[in-house]
Amino acid sequence: METTEQRQWENFFAEFVNTPHAKLQDPQIRESLLVKISQLIDLPYRMQMIKRDIGEDGEEEGDKERWKEWLKDMERGRAEITLEPFHRHAVEVIKGLLAGYEKHIAVVEVVGKLAPNRRLKETILPPQEDLPHSVLAGDYRLPVYAKFLHVLRRHPFPFGRRERKGCGKFFVQPVRGKPRRYCSTACRLQSSPAVARHTAYVQELRQKRRKTEIAITRAILRQWSDQKEYLRELGKQFSQKSRRQLLNLVKQAKGAVKTKRKETA
């Protein structure tokens, strides 16, 4: 059964890969992502022991706070280094898996213990930087990749992607029931043939209306050469338009005349 924590991480990774790489430099977006990544970053084993034992050796309250702040800064610094490369990795992996490709997902370490029934009980762990007896001297970023692997191993696969032109967002699939094909109700409606036909109809209607407006503007410009006069006449014809919109209409009408002259020449 899926837990609330698992669902939260699935939602986080979906939001994470939907964030454009350029948006990672936005201070607000970057801060929210770094907070989550920091929760997964492993400190060196010795630092983990210090973090665990803070307050047990009779330190002064000020010393405790300094230790906590120092360890927090270390986690934050490591999260900063991890953010961009892990973002590229996560996008590439989810996108590739959904497209049917084989992808390298993570580096992990398997810890084994013999159970009473003489079966080997395996636990998959991320390698740690200086953990005693570790087969692989790990990297502090690997716990992030291990959590990502843990999320990807959910059955059925937790993510989907709508390949509709103009969308392409990743989303979290439900644990039960039929898989979703769209990231949202709005996306589903946009994919409807009826909506597509309606959109094309509206665009065609707007183009016809614009051509009519330009034709009327050109007729007024031929009759009135002074700006105050032709703007007054245009204001009568298009009472709902602002002065700025009328000037833009005049610009388009003059441009249409130049284009026609070139074609004639």
**Is the pLDDT at 87 greater than 90, yes or no?**
yes
Give the per-residue pLDDT at 229: 87
The region of weakest confidence among 124-133, 174-183, 185-194, 252-261 is 124-133
- Residues 206 and 214: their CA atoms lie apart, in Å, by 12
- List, in sequence order, every residue forming a beta bridge with 121; answer none if it has no partner: 113
Q: Report pLDDT digits (tens) over 7-34.
A: 899 999 999 999 999 999 999 999 999 9
Quickly state the pLDDT bin for 137 (edges 50, 70, 90): very low
Residue 98, classed as helix, strand or coil, is helix
Q: How many CB atoms lie within 10 A of CB 96?
A: 14
Q: Report pLDDT digits (tens) over 138-172.
A: 566 777 887 888 888 888 888 888 766 667 788 88
Give the per-residue pLDDT at 260: 59
Reported as type and span, the H/E element at residue 125 is strand 120-125
Mutual orientation of helices 142-152 and 61-98 as an angle, nearest 10°?
Answer: 50
- pTM to 2 decimal places: 0.59
Q: Report pLDDT digits (tens) over 28-75.
A: 999 999 988 888 877 766 677 777 777 555 556 667 788 778 888 888
- Residues 63 and 54: their CA atoms lie apart, in Å, by 9
Q: What is the mean pLDDT of residues 73-91?
A: 88
Count H helices and E strands in the chain, helices first. 9, 4
Is the preceding omega at residue 156 within 30 degrees of 0, hence cis? yes
**β-bridge pairing 120-125 and 159-161:** unpaired
Residue 171, classed as helix, strand or coil, is strand
Q: What is the mean pLDDT of residues 79-90?
A: 90
Q: Report pLDDT digits (tens) over 177-234.
A: 777 777 666 666 666 666 566 667 778 888 888 889 888 988 888 888 888 888 888 8
Cα 91-93-98 angle, rounded to 5 deg: 100
